[in-house]
Structure 1
Amino acid sequence: MPTTHRYYLSVADLANARGSEPSLAFEGIGPEKLASDLADALRSDTLFQQWKAMQPDPDEVAPSLGATDPGVSATGKQTSDRADIELVTTLPMSIVKQRLNWLIGPNWQLRDMR
């Protein structure tokens, strides 16, 4: 049975947090929307397939990069100085990082993991 990870993430400036590729980037407002979009990006391979199609040789992309977790859950809340996301998934941080970077670029921080 896969190990469940609980990631605690924060985004200091969510209003300006966007990935470098506009067609993959987060377009919402608020931590709840980011949590929802991140969960969707980890639950299905839709975002991965969009990214893969943009690669010079899509057939050479390792299928393992498209890993998904149908049971993922995420919640978001705004604090006085940042947006906080709590993510529960069986996926490793490497996959979470990949999807976060597509959505909001390097504008996030891993605060804790359990």
Structure 2
Amino acid sequence: MQPLCNSDELAEGASRGFGQGGRSLLLVRREGLVFAYRNRCPHRGIPLEWQADQFLDVSASLIQCATHGALFLIESGECVAGPCAGERLEALPCREQDGSIWVEV
């Protein structure tokens, strides 16, 4: 695992994108927990955001693909609406320790 950022750089209800080890990643904090995914829509294999660090829908309750509107559960990465319904984002193991967020790339 590698440190990706300081814990205080990811606020509650926020998302952020990162490049690490040649991969594009995204982090989301929800209810105090951090979730990490590869930044790649399973439908077309393209990045999810339309603007830097903008991975969530307007309610900040789902991850949204800006290109096709697919919606993914934050906790599992499962697509619940859109052209890739039933598929999942690629989850990455992560943990928060000693004031940092660590992700296995």
Shorter-chain TM range is 0.3 to 0.5
TM-score in terms of structure 1 length: 0.31
- Bigger radius of gyration among the two: 1
Between Structure 1 and Structure 2, which shows a larger proportion of strand residues? 2
Q: Which has the higher contact order (CA 8 A, sep 6+)?
A: 1
